[in-house]
Copies of this chain bind each other. A is one copy, B any other.
Amino acid sequence: MTDTLSRRSGGRAARRASRAAPLIDSLRPIRPGMSGGQYKPLSDADVMRIHQTALDALEQIGLADAPPSGVEYLTRAGAILGDDGRLRFPRALIEDTVARATKEITLFGRDPRHDMHLTGAKVHFGTAGAAVHMVDVDGRNYRECTVQDLHDAARIADVLDNIHFVQRPMVCRDIYDNFEMDMNTVYACCGGTTKHVGTSFTDPSYVKGALEMLHLIAGGEDKWRARPFVSNSNCFVVPPMKFATEACQVMEACIEGGMPVLLLSAGMAGATAPSTIAGAIVQATAECLAGLVYVNAVKPGHPAIFGTWPFGLDLRTGAMTGGSGEQALLSAGCAQMHKFYGVPGGAVGGITDAKLPDMQAGWEAMCSNVMSGLSGLNMVYEAAGMHASLLGFCHESLILSDDLIGHALRCVRGIEVDDETLGLEQIREVCLGGPGHYLGTGQTLSRMQSDYQYPSLGNRMSPKEWDENGKPDLLTETIARKQEILSERAAARFDPATDAAIRKAFNIHLPA
């Protein structure tokens, strides 16, 4: 069949060449911020029960361990401090907060081309995490990851169309001082990509230093505040239902500095959250609602992402697992809760438990990525490169994820139904006295680029072509692509004066 068609279709080489050229934006079959929401794992009644149970938990159980400043902000807003030290949240306080919270957020890139508009069911995919290992694919080895690995990850992500943001995916294990590690993380990410960056801070006092660097990069505090291109990934709770005291203080400092906050609740179903999917979503929702009250108590309307990140657990071993079907359901269910509240939200997708970019890695990463996308999750974190249940990051996997996520985004785009796409006239012309096939119709040719997403490294050769081309191996080709990307000069590099100013103020570990 394949061969027959190939012979039949003239101009194949020309079509291939025309398709290999970069597409103008209006013709791109996929782009950041396509709208999902066609997949709804929860019924409306389910969503309402989860909401009501989260309100019950906030009203009756509440959260412990808020810092003194948080207690002040929250009680002033209407939360009630119990004798047991827990802050409890009346239903009306939650409802009022949700009503007033910012519903539309722009996460800026250093380059405005990369701005992300978080609203409705618009979907974006990017990296995130805190891997401690670098996956060395060529050597089949796990080693400690370094600031250079992190910088390289940012550089690679910068050139991949379907990686929309770069939240720090791994920690710099070669920098032992926590302040230096945090500052170098900002430098390595922002110096590698002009896309939006996310990061965390170990200590509240470090935020000042980071802001100083960001003002330098932006060209002044006013410019930074106008378009903050870094957000704070903030684990403000230690599930179940406890504030993370220091992280809350970090959050207050970031709000003060004009940095958007990702309210990250990372419970593990069966360990730090209920083992049931519904229960884990309830708890994450309750915790993030408390976080939303906190942010809006500090500064009404400050941009905050509702970061319900429940993770799965392998209950046989008690070890985390991020590549399961349960994980995909957790994230998709959370996305529906975000839509219910109308607030921009994020959760995890794309994680694999596989140690290498093998078939397991492919099926696990796709399952949660495509389900997150179809559920309309605004921010799919950890979507690319995360292996071994988040312990390892892999550059080759990141590169392949550009194809994988592109594929998922094509599915998110969905099926257009209108007079033209229904094609009755075309069917009539082809069948009644026409050629009996659609290969040469104007509609087929015009839609070759706008409707179809083509993989970059994914291989579509016939077995014969594959054989004639020396049986290309996916990972070998990907390693070559990585080397190609990293051999080019990073486009996101700071100008020399800025770089010198940063290096004067901070101990930057990456070579100039």
Residues of A whose CB lies within 8 Å of any CB of B are 1-2, 5-6, 8-9, 12, 15-16, 19, 38-43, 45-46, 49-50, 53, 56-57, 60-61, 64, 84, 133, 140, 142, 240-241, 268, 270-279, 281-283, 313-321, 323-326, 328-329, 333, 353-367, 370-371, 374, 388-389, 391-392, 397, 400, 403-404, 406-411, 414-418, 420-424, 426-428, 430-432, 436-439, 441, 443-445, 447-448, 451-455, 457-463, 466-467, 471, 473-475
Say whether A318 contacts B439, CB under 8 Å.
Answer: yes
| Residues of chain B lying within 8 A (CB to CB) of residue A314 | 452, 454, 460
Say whether B61 contacts A5, CB under 8 Å.
Answer: no
A475 to B281, CA, bound (A): 36
Which of B241, B362, B370, B392 makes the CB contact (< 8 A) with A360?
B362
| Residues of chain B lying within 8 A (CB to CB) of residue A53 | 422-424
Shortest beta-carbon distance, A276 to chain B, in Å? 4
A276 to B422, CA, bound (A): 7
A362 to B415, CA, bound (A): 24
A57 to B416, CA, bound (A): 19
* A410-B282 contact given A436-B240, A459-B354, CB 8 Å threshold: no
| Residues of chain B lying within 8 A (CB to CB) of residue A57 | 424, 427-428
**Which partner residue on chain B sits nearest A135 by CB separation?**
B463
A432 to B88, CA, bound (A): 13
Say whether B9 contacts A371, CB under 8 Å.
Answer: no
A453 to B367, CA, bound (A): 14
Say whether A453 contacts B325, CB under 8 Å.
Answer: yes
A-B contact pairs, 20 of them (CB 8 A): A49-B422, A57-B424, A61-B428, A140-B471, A240-B436, A240-B438, A271-B437, A276-B416, A277-B421, A282-B427, A316-B454, A324-B407, A324-B452, A355-B466, A356-B474, A358-B358, A362-B365, A367-B408, A367-B411, A388-B462
| Residues of chain B lying within 8 A (CB to CB) of residue A441 | 275
Say whether B324 contacts A274, CB under 8 Å.
Answer: no
| Residues of chain B lying within 8 A (CB to CB) of residue A362 | 358-366
A277 to B278, CA, bound (A): 35
A142 to B471, CA, bound (A): 10
| Residues of chain B lying within 8 A (CB to CB) of residue A414 | 41, 329
Say whether A458 contacts B50, CB under 8 Å.
Answer: no
Say whether A318 contacts B416, CB under 8 Å.
Answer: no
| Residues of chain B lying within 8 A (CB to CB) of residue A460 | 314, 317, 319, 321, 323, 353, 389
Say whether A427 contacts B361, CB under 8 Å.
Answer: no
Say whether B358 contacts A475, CB under 8 Å.
Answer: yes
A45 to B174, CA, bound (A): 57
**Which partner residue on chain B sits nearest A375 by CB separation?**
B39
A27 to B1, CA, bound (A): 45
| Residues of chain B lying within 8 A (CB to CB) of residue A371 | 370, 374, 411
Say whether B15 contacts A315, CB under 8 Å.
Answer: yes
Most buried by B among A268, A353, A363: A363
| Residues of chain B lying within 8 A (CB to CB) of residue A360 | 362, 400, 403, 455, 457-459, 474
Shortest beta-carbon distance, A111 to chain B, in Å? 27
Which of B241, B355, B415, B422 makes the CB contact (< 8 A) with A41?
B415
A357 to B363, CA, bound (A): 11
Say whether A358 contacts B474, CB under 8 Å.
Answer: yes
**Which partner residue on chain B sits nearest A448 by CB separation?**
B315
**Which partner residue on chain B sits nearest A241 by CB separation?**
B431
Say whether B142 contacts A463, CB under 8 Å.
Answer: yes
| Residues of chain B lying within 8 A (CB to CB) of residue A355 | 459, 461, 463, 466, 471
| Residues of chain B lying within 8 A (CB to CB) of residue A455 | 360
Shortest beta-carbon distance, A416 to chain B, in Å? 6
Say whether B275 contacts A444, CB under 8 Å.
Answer: yes
**Which partner residue on chain B sits nearest A467 by CB separation?**
B142
Say whether A12 contacts B317, CB under 8 Å.
Answer: yes
A264 to B313, CA, bound (A): 42
Shortest beta-carbon distance, A131 to chain B, in Å? 10
A370 to B408, CA, bound (A): 12
Which of B133, B404, B437 makes the CB contact (< 8 A) with A272?
B437
| Residues of chain B lying within 8 A (CB to CB) of residue A9 | 317-318
* A422-B278 contact given A273-B438, A324-B452, A353-B460, CB 8 Å threshold: yes
